[in-house]
Amino acid sequence: MSLIESLPRIRRWRLPRPDGLVPWIVPLAIVLVWQAACVGGLVPARVLPAPTEVASAGWKLLLSGELLRNIWVSFWRAIVGFAIGGSIGFVFGLANGLSQLSNRLTDTTLQMVRNVPHLALIPLVILWFGIDESAKLFLVALGVFFPIYLNTLHGIRTVDPQLIEMGRIYGMSDGELFRRVIFPGALPSIFVGVRFALGIMWLTLIVAETIAASSGLGYMAMQAREFMQIDVVVLSILIYALLGKLADSTSRALERLTLSWHPAFQK
């Protein structure tokens, strides 16, 4: 008895921080090792600037307003592109999951388009839209479309048919059946799609901005390369990592909020 009771105390003694900080131990350690390697002269500054230099470059860009402006531009493109592509993917996923006719009509076409790497369309997109906003939005929307489409479709297809039968016995109308049985049943799978799509969203956006843009984080990194500002290049890469983490945390929070019934989200 005394042993079992003392177990939590031992853990608390070893980990005095709140649990929320645990995931940040590894990134922090990496930064520390990196700093030590730069200060110790193991890594020349031309190859990789020290974290402190990256931070000071970031501070300078922050003061000039350039950093926030570029982050905002990229963020806006990401959100709008995601909203457009995501909602189209969701609608097609619903339609093809619920209607056999719609599925037979469009699924083959969508599968063919899916297998074209959407970044291969960049030359075509530049010819169509120039380096306009719509070019980036188009690419992001296209990239985000497929994971959401596929996972929505899969989610709807795999809703327990016994629950649907139950709903029909209890006189649910089609709309009610969708709202109370099919959609909640498909939601876990839709969220898997959202998380995949968030990754693709950043990837697409950064590549598109690197190749064809006059603002945004990708553009900032490419400009910095032209002027050999390696600290700014590294800074942009770190910002991508943080933005990616932010997007993932947001979707996890949404998951926890809407899937609180799921055994995996219960504590």
Partner 1 sequence: MQEALRFLVPDAEPVDRTDFIERARRLRDAPEASSRRGLPLSIRSLHKSFGANQVLRGVDLQIPAGQFVAIVGRSGCGKSTLLRLIAGLETIDTGSIGFGEATRPADVRVMFQEPRLLPWARVLSNVEVGLGRDRASSDAQLRAEQALAEVGLDDKRGQWPAVLSGGQKQRVALARALVSHPRVLAFDEPLGALDALTRISMQRLLERVWHDQGFTAILVTHDVAEAVALADRVLVIEDGRIARDIEVDIARPRRRGSAALAALEGSILRDLLQSADETTEL
The encoded tokens of residue 55 equal 């931070």
Q: Does 162 bind partner 1 (CB under 8 A)?
A: yes
Q: Does 261 bind partner 1 (CB under 8 A)?
A: yes
Neighbours of 61 (CB within 10 A): 22
The encoded tokens of residue 139 equal 């690419």
Contact segment (CB under 8 A) with partner 1 among 119-127, 163-171, 198-206, 226-234 equals 163-171
Neighbours of 204 (CB within 10 A): 27
Question: Residue 181 or 239: which CB sits closer to partner 1?
Answer: 181
Residue 242 has what DSSP assignment? H
Question: Residue 2 or 162: which CB sits closer to partner 1?
Answer: 162
What is the maximal distance between C-alpha atoms in the chain?
74
Q: Does 185 bind partner 1 (CB under 8 A)?
A: yes
Contact segment (CB under 8 A) with partner 1 among 20-28, 53-61, 72-80, 157-165 equals 157-165
The nearest distance, CB 21 to partner 1, in angstroms, is 30
The nearest distance, CB 236 to partner 1, in angstroms, is 41
Q: Does 248 bind partner 1 (CB under 8 A)?
A: no
Q: Does 170 bind partner 1 (CB under 8 A)?
A: yes
d(CA 244, CA 203): 10
Element (H, E) at 95: helix 66-98
The nearest distance, CB 173 to partner 1, in angstroms, is 9
> First-to-last CA distance in the chain?
24
Q: Does 180 bind partner 1 (CB under 8 A)?
A: yes
Q: Does 155 bind partner 1 (CB under 8 A)?
A: no
The nearest distance, CB 168 to partner 1, in angstroms, is 8
Contact segment (CB under 8 A) with partner 1 among 49-57, 104-112, 132-140, 164-172 equals 164-172
Give the Å distances, CA to CA, from 265 to 51, 183, 189, 198, 257. Answer: 37, 18, 14, 21, 9
Q: Does 175 bind partner 1 (CB under 8 A)?
A: no
Residue 46 exposure: Cα atoms within 13 Å on the Cβ side: 0
Contacts of 90 (CB under 8 A, 6+ apart): 148, 149, 152, 190
The nearest distance, CB 153 to partner 1, in angstroms, is 20
d(CA 134, CA 79): 13
Question: Residue 7 or 264: which CB sits closer to partner 1?
Answer: 264
Q: Return the residue of 165, 179, 242, 256 that touches partner 1, per CB under 8 A.
A: 165
d(CA 233, CA 217): 10
d(CA 24, CA 92): 39
Q: Return the residue of 63, 171, 226, 257 that touches partner 1, per CB under 8 A.
A: 171
What residues line the site for partner 1 (CB under 8 A)? 162-163, 165-167, 169-172, 180-181, 184-185, 187, 259-263, 266
